[in-house]
Amino acid sequence: MGGFFGTISKGNAVPDLFYGTDYNSHLGTKRAGMATYSKTNGLTRSIHNIEGSYFRSKFESGLSKFDGATSGIGVISDTDAQPIIINSHLGRFAIVTVARIDNIEEIEKQLLESNHHFTELSSGKTNQTELIATLICEGKTIVDGVEKMFAAIKGSCSLLILSEEGIFAVRDKLGRTPVIIGKKDSAYAVSSEPNAFPNLDFDIDYFVGPGEIIHITENGWKQVRKPNDKMQVCSFFWVYFGFPSCDYEGINVDVVRNSLGEALAKADTDTVADFACGIPDSGVGHAIGYAIGKGIPYKRGILKYTPTWPRSFTPSQQSMRNLVAKMKILPNRQMLTGKRVVFCDDSIVRGTQLRGNVEMMFAYGAKEIHMRIACPPLVYACRYLNFSATQNDLELITRSIIEKFEGQHDKNLQEYVDPNSEKHKQMVEVIRQRFGLTSLRFNTVDALVKAIGLPKERICTHCFDGSSYF
């Protein structure tokens, strides 16, 4: 995934930029960067690898290089080294993106055949932020260039552009990732995550619409491109990505997670349990909702060792993902021994984390383990966001089961999507057996949509039902 933060101030913008970018750290673990602008020094940039450390520890000692800056943008990225600084007919600017370009090879070929070149590489491939900047520079203005970029790419792209004229904030044309404007007396900010605002004294001022472009200066902001009518905001922001205190489209993350847990409890009429527990971190909100809905206690039967262990899906190698999934979770034996436990989690992708957790909980004395998943089974890999190491359908546990049943992984998919079909029930039963669970149940798409509270057509549920589009 990834997240960005930008700010522009009548005074020193560097502290807000530094801490605001850091508040997006839960969205990425590989690369981070900042770029600032001052009348004295122009554009200044710094990029670090954060795979073995954290944003603050990498950037704090070098903040003096940004002295005098009154505006800046920062990014946490799981893909490219960014920001990129561009010198073009549009002027000099820095750019950061949160993007997934599904047709990047096609666009790259077209641009190379048109005598363009690329200088930034990420793991031997063209840096997609540079490619996006190149597309924008095809336009007569930044706004015109963004239009051309929107027309060219399949996938998604939200971005910030920093120049001497201020900050241009652009939300993906279908609004797949959020962009939020904040303000305080002396400054304005823009962020992927509004949890960056409170401790920096910003208040949420505006939720940028799909495809909308906002131009921000020290004196305020104005719309320079109207939002599109269609929206496909990713439902996983509420299920998993988002920090619990965040609001997207005015809808709070933890309120939705509580509602998803309550929906699971409401449908769970035949399960008797001693307490509910969430798989940290995102599962906690779901489990609290389940406990409320079921009228049973919430207890911390397992805990995440938060000081050092990142999310389990982040490493690219399966062996490392397995290690992380095991090492980050600590059991509480006295809570588990002899107990019937409902464990809530956000999703099952490959089952890497689930298998180890279940084995551990039984080993530490749990009598029964009832797993409740906040979203429906993932049947389609995401083509719109870089939200995990899963890049194709075959990596999903559901597809391996479908292939076993059907002889091919992509046959009769809608029958497996339908929660009332026998094939869906058989698939869930195989997952239950595979991990040794006492019982296993998922929420439905209808329950997910209801909990979020937006119309179905404005939410992307592609991972569950294959319904989205470019």
**Residue 280 structural domain:** 253-452
Residue 243 maps to a domain: no
- State the maximum Cα–Cα separation within the chain, in Å, rounded to a whole number: 70
Looking at residue 356, what is its pLDDT? 84
C-alpha 416: how far from its chain's center? Answer: 26
Containing 99, the helix (H) or strand (E) segment is strand 91-101
Q: CATH number for the domain including 130?
A: 3.60.20.10
Beta bridge partners of 373: 345, 442
Same structural domain, 257 and 227? no
Percent of the chain with pLDDT over 70: 94
CA dist 301 and 278 (Å) reads 8
pLDDT tens profile 341-362: 999 999 999 887 788 889 999 9
What's the mean per-residue pLDDT of the chain?
93
pLDDT at 270 over 60: yes
Question: pLDDT at position 67, please?
Answer: 96
Whether 310 has a pLDDT exceeding 80, the answer reads: no
327 and 396, same domain (yes or no)? yes
Number of folded domains that form the chain: 2
Kindly tell me the sign of the dihedral angle through the C-alpha atoms of 277, 279, 281, 285.
Answer: negative
Confidence of residue 1 (pLDDT cuts 50, 70, 90): confident
Q: How confident is the model at residue 312 (pLDDT cuts 50, 70, 90)?
A: very low
What are the tens digits of pLDDT across the range 313-344?
Answer: 455 565 665 666 677 789 999 999 999 999 99
pLDDT given for residue 317 in this prediction:
60
Same domain, 267 and 364: yes
What is the Cα–Cα distance from 357 to 120, expressed in whole angstroms? 40
Asked, for residue 258, whether it belongs to a domain, the answer is yes
32: its two tokens: 């981070």
pLDDT digits (tens, 9 = 90+) for 14-66: 999 999 999 999 998 889 999 999 999 999 999 999 987 889 999 999 999 99
Q: Which residue, chain included where needed, has tokens 């906690």?
A: 284
Residues linked to residue 119 through DSSP beta bridges, in sequence order: none
Residue 48, beta-bridge partner list: 32
Nearest 5°: phi and psi at 39? -65, -30
Domain co-membership, 214 together with 327: no
pTM (two decimals): 0.94
pLDDT tens per residue across span 361-412: 999 999 999 999 999 999 999 999 986 555 689 899 999 999 999 999 999 9
The pLDDT of residue 272 is above 50: yes
391 and 321 share one domain: yes
**Confidence band, pLDDT 50/70/90 cuts, at residue 89:** very high
Residue 213 has pLDDT above 90, yes or no: yes
User: From CA 461, how far away is CA 464, in angstroms rounded?
Assistant: 6
Percent residues over pLDDT 90 in the chain: 84
